[in-house]
Each structure stands twice: as structure tokens, then as C-alpha cells.
Structure 1
Amino acid sequence: AAESNDNYVVKGSEGEVLIPAIEDVVKSIDLNKGCIIIEPIEGLLSLNQKTTNKRSRHIQ
């Protein structure tokens, strides 16, 4: 059986992006600032967006 994981739904100017809540992607979370620092795996952000993305990105 395939494993499943939780996802964060991040809303931005270009719509929603689903971010898997796994250590390989989520590098830090700052609840006070409402900020998640991620290192997206290849193709992760382009699944929901038309633009290409940098290796590391700050999304609020």
C-alpha cells in the first residue's frame, strides 16, 4: 500500500499550492511570522502554477 502524508495548502497571488508536509520539502516553520520555508522537489510547484520556480522559495 502507498503511504500518504499531510499537505499544507498555501494560498498566494497565483492560486493555491499543495506542499507535502515532509522533511525533504519543509525546512522550517515560523508560526509567529506565518512563514514556511521550503525546498521544493523538482516539479512540485509547477503542478499548480504556470511559471517555473527557483530551487528554494519563500511562500507566505
Structure 2
Amino acid sequence: MYRSIISGESGSLVRDNITTNYIIDENLVPNLKYYYTLKAVDRHGIEVLSTRQYSGAVGK
């Protein structure tokens, strides 16, 4: 999972080898919008970066 503060950019790797259907992202700045992009790896090791971003912000 990659996180960026700029829409359209994949950003920096913040989590890898995710095996659950949720994550807890820590050390975020309140009232700043974050954009997340996922990268999937199939059983053959082929990586695919998602073209869809998910966004969210932390309240005060």
C-alpha cells in the first residue's frame, strides 16, 4: 500500500504483505488528506499497481 498527499501520485510504500481486509495507518497529520494506492502481486510474482486511489483524512 502506498500513501501520498498529492492526488494522482502513488507516493511512498507504507505497508507491504497485507493479509487482512483492513489496515491501521499511524502517525498521520490531522486535517491533511491522504491518498492510498494498492499494488497486487499474483501467485507468479507479477505486480500490478492499481489505477484507482482511495482518499481519507484524520480529524482533530
- Alignment TM-score, normalising by the size of structure 2: 0.23
Which one has a larger percent helix, Structure 1 or Structure 2? 1
Which one has a larger percent strand, Structure 1 or Structure 2? 1
Bigger Cα Rg: 2
- Alignment TM-score, normalising by the size of structure 1: 0.23
